[in-house]
C-alpha cells in the first residue's frame, strides 16, 4: 500500500496512470449524468408543494455537497503536503481550489434561483446554509489569491496548505455561528419549508447526480493536475519523451 502510494507520488507514474484512467472515468461520468438528469428532470414526480421548480435541486444539492467535499480534499492534501513535502499533494490541493470555488459559486447561484419562487426573494440572510456557503466562497478566493500573490511557487504551496488547514478548523465554527445567529433571531417562517421525507423516485436521481458530480470533480482534477505536473516538470527528460512521442506520431 505504502509503496503504491509512493510510486503514485512520482510525477511520471502519476501522468501515465491518470492518462489510462481518464477516458473510462469520462465515459462513466457522462453515462451517470445522462441517467441522473433524465431521472431528475423527467422521471421524478413533481413535488406536491413546489411543483416542478424543485428540480433545480438535482444541480444545487450535489454542487453544495461538492463545495464542502473539495475543501476537505484540499485540507487533507494540504496536510500531506506539509508533513511529507509531497509534490503531488501540493498539486492536488492547488488544482482543487478553483474547482471548489466554482462548485460553491454554482451552489450559490442555483440556491438563489431556487429561493426566488420558494422564499419570494433572491437572497435570504436568514438561511444559515446560504450564508455560510457565501463565506466558504470567500475562503476559497482567499486561498486562490494567496497562491497567486506569492512568486516562489513552492513556498506559495506550503503557505496555501497552512491556510487551508486553518480554514478547515474554522468552517464548522463559522457554520454553527451563523446557525446560532438565526436560531436566536427567529427569522421569517417561510425560510424553511419542511422537507417531507423524500420520495425514492426523487432520491435515486439525486444520488446518481451526486456520484456524477464527484466523478466530474475527479476528471477535472486529473486534467488540471496533469497540466500542472507537465508545467512544473517541463525541463525534465520524461516530459520531453512523453510529449515528443506524441508530436512525432
Provide the binding-site residues for other proteins, judged by CB under 8 A: 82, 135, 138-139, 141-142, 145-146, 149-150, 155, 158-159, 162-163, 165-167, 169-170, 173-174, 177-178, 180-181, 184
Measured from the CB atom, is 141 or 230 closer to other proteins?
Answer: 141
Residue 130 CB, nearest approach to other proteins (Å): 14
Q: What is the 3-state secondary structure (H, E, C) of 104-155?
A: HHHHHHHHHHHHHHHHCCCCCCCCHHHHHHHHHHHHHHHHHHHHHHCCCHHH
- Kindly tell me which of 79 and 211 has the beta carbon lying closer to other proteins: 79
Smallest separation (angstroms) from other proteins to the CB of 123: 17
- Residue 185 or 246: which CB sits closer to other proteins? 185
Straight-line distance from the first to the last Cα atom of the chain, in angstroms, rounded to the nearest whole number: 36
Number of Cβ within 10 Å of residue 249's Cβ equals 5
β partners of residue 222: none
Q: Which is nearer to other proteins, 29 or 130 (CB)?
A: 130
90 phi and psi, to 5 degrees?
Answer: -60, -45
Tell me whether residue 98 is exposed, middle or buried, using C-beta atoms within 10 angstroms of its C-beta: 0 to 12, 13 to 18, 19 or more: middle
Q: What's the closest the beta carbon of residue 166 comes to other proteins, in angstroms? A: 5
Least distance (Å) from other proteins to the CB of residue 68?
A: 15
Closer of 85 and 240 to other proteins (Cβ): 85
Q: Return all residues near 228 (Cβ < 8 A) that are at least 6 apart.
A: 91, 94, 95
Smallest distance, Å, CB 67 to other proteins?
14
Quote the least distance from Cβ 134 to other proteins, whole Å. 9
User: In this complex, which beta carbon is closest to other proteins, that of residue 42 or of residue 184?
Assistant: 184
Amino acid at each position: 500500500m505504502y509503496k503504491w502510494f509512493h510510486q503514485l507520488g512520482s510525477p511520471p507514474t502519476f501522468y501515465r496512470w491518470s492518462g489510462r484512467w481518464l477516458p473510462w472515468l469520462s465515459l462513466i461520468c457522462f453515462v451517470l449524468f445522462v441517467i441522473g438528469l433524465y431521472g431528475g428532470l423527467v422521471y421524478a414526480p413533481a413535488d406536491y408543494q413546489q411543483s416542478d421548480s424543485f428540480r433545480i435541486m438535482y444541480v444545487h444539492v450535489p454542487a453544495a455537497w461538492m463545495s464542502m467535499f473539495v475543501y476537505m480534499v484540499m485540507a487533507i492534501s494540504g496536510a500531506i503536503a506539509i508533513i511529507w513535502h509531497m509534490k503531488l499533494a501540493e498539486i492536488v490541493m492547488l488544482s482543487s481550489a478553483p474547482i471548489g470555488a466554482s462548485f460553491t459559486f454554482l451552489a450559490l447561484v442555483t440556491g438563489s434561483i431556487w429561493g426566488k419562487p420558494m422564499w419570494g426573494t433572491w437572497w435570504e440572510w436568514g438561511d444559515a446554509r446560504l450564508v455560510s456557503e457565501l463565506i466558504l466562497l470567500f475562503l476559497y478566493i482567499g486561498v486562490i489569491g494567496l497562491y497567486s500573490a506569492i512568486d516562489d511557487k513552492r513556498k506559495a504551496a506550503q503557505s496555501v496548505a497552512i491556510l487551508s488547514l486553518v480554514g478547515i478548523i474554522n468552517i464548522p465554527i463559522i457554520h454553527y455561528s451563523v446557525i446560532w445567529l438565526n436560531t436566536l433571531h427567529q427569522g421569517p417562517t417561510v425560510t424553511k419549508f419542511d422537507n417531507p421525507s423524500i420520495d425514492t423516485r426523487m432520491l435515486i436521481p439525486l444520488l446518481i447526480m451526486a456520484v456524477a458530480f464527484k466523478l466530474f470533480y475527479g476528471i477535472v482534477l486529473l486534467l488540471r493536475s496533469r497540466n500542472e505536473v507537465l508545467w512544473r516538470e517541463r525541463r525534465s527528460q520524461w516530459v520531453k519523451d512523453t510529449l515528443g512521442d506524441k508530436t512525432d506520431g
